[in-house]
Structure 1
Amino acid sequence: MFRAPPGQVQTWAQYRGRVDNRQAIGSWLSGPRAAAEEMGADFGYRGERLGLPREGPGSVAPLGRRFGALFVDWAVSMLIAYGLFARGDQQAAGNWALGVFLVMSLLTVGTVGSTPGKRILGLRVIAEDGGRLGAVRVALRSVLLLLVIPAIVWDRDSRGLHDRLARAVQVRI
C-alpha cells in the first residue's frame, strides 16, 4: 500500500496516478498499439513493409472483405457438399465441405489467384513479390487455412500466419 509522506494527505486520484500510467501500458480499450503510437512509435500503414500502396488496387485487403469472402466460399462449399455428397445428412455435409473447400481453394487460387468469394468481393491472393503463387505454396496456404488457428494469428500487416508461411498477401483488385 502506498503511504503519503508525513504531513501530507494522499488522495485516491494521486495514488492512482502514480500506480497506473496508462500512456506506458495502454488501456484495455485502445490496446498496446494505440499506446505505443501515442508515445511516438510509427508503425506505418498495412502493407508498407511489403511495398504495397496504402489504398486502392494492390493494397492489402481489409479484414471485413476477407471475412466476407471466406463466408461466401464456405457457403458455396456447404451447398456443393450437401447437394453432391451428403445426401441430406447435415453432419456429413459439414465434413465433406472441408474437402470441397480445400479442392476449391487449390484449384481457384492456384489458377486465377482468387476463390469465388474473393472474386465477388474484389480480392486476390498474390506472392509477396507480386507474382503468382506456385502449387506448393497454394497447397501450404490452403491446408493451414483449414486448420483455422494459423489464419487467426495476424501480423501488423493484417496477414494471417497461413499467408506469412506461404509468403502470400491478399490484395484488392
Structure 2
Amino acid sequence: MPQDGVGSVAGGGARLLGLVIDLVLAALVTAMFVRPNLQDPAMMQTFNQWSVVVWAIITVVSAAFFGFTPGMGAVGIRVARLDGASMVGLWRAVVRTALTFVIIPAAVRNADGRSWLDRLTGTVVIRMR
C-alpha cells in the first residue's frame, strides 16, 4: 500500500470524523420519528436507543454494499478487503459495526494503522482522495 495519497491507510482523525458524521446523521434520522425531549430522561433514553439502531443499520448496509458509510464518504475514506474483493460483505460489515460499538477494538491500532476490527475482518480503511 502507498505511504500517502489515494489507497494509503486512513488516519485515525478521518476515521473518527467519519464516525461522528454518521452518529449525527443517525440522530437526525431518528429525530424525524422520535422527538427528543431533553427534559424527559426516559424519552432521551428511547431516542438514544433508536439512534444506535439507526446508526447500526446505516453502517452495516452502506459498508457491506458500497464500502463506505455516509460519514466515511464525506471525509474521503472507505473500507477495502485485503483479498481484493470488490464488496466488503454483510458478515464483515456486521462484525465491524459490533466492534465499533464496543470502541476499544476500533481505537487500538498496530504499526500499519489497522485496528483490531480491521485485522479480525481482513479489511483496511483507505483514503479515496
Same fold (TM over 0.5): yes
Q: Gaps spanning 5+ residues in structure 1: where?
A: 1-51
Q: Which residue of 2 aligns with 1:162?
A: 117
Q: Distance in 1 between matches of 2:51 and 2:62?
A: 16
Write the distance in 2 (CA, Å) between the matches of 1:138 and 1:79. Answer: 22
How does the TM-score come out when normalised to structure 1? 0.66
How far is the alpha carbon of 1:130 from its aligned partner?
Answer: 3.0
1:68 maps onto 2:17 in alignment: yes
Number of aligned residue pairs = 121
Give, in whole Å, the separation in 1 of the partners of 2:107 and 2:11: 14
* Structure of higher RCO (CA pairs closer than 8 Å, 6+ residues apart): 2
Partner of 2:79: 125
Q: Contact 1:154–1:160 (CA<8 Å) still a contact in 2?
A: yes
* Cα deviation 1:78-126 (Å, max 9, x = unaligned): 1112222x33333222111111111111110011110001101111101
Q: CA RMSD in A?
A: 1.3
Structure 2's unaligned 5+ residue stretches are: 37-42
Instruction: State how 1:1-173 maps to structure 2 within 5 Å.
Output: 52-84=1-33, 86-88=34-36, 89-131=43-85, 132-173=87-128
Equivalent residue letter for 2:77: L
Query: Do 2:81 and 2:122's aligned partners in 1 also have CA atoms closer than 8 Å?
Result: yes
Normalising by the residue count of structure 2, what TM-score does the alignment of the two structures yield? 0.86
Q: Which amino acid letter does the alignment assign opposite residue 60 of structure 2? A: L
Deviation at 1:151, TM superposition (A): 1.1
Give me the identity figure in percent.
32
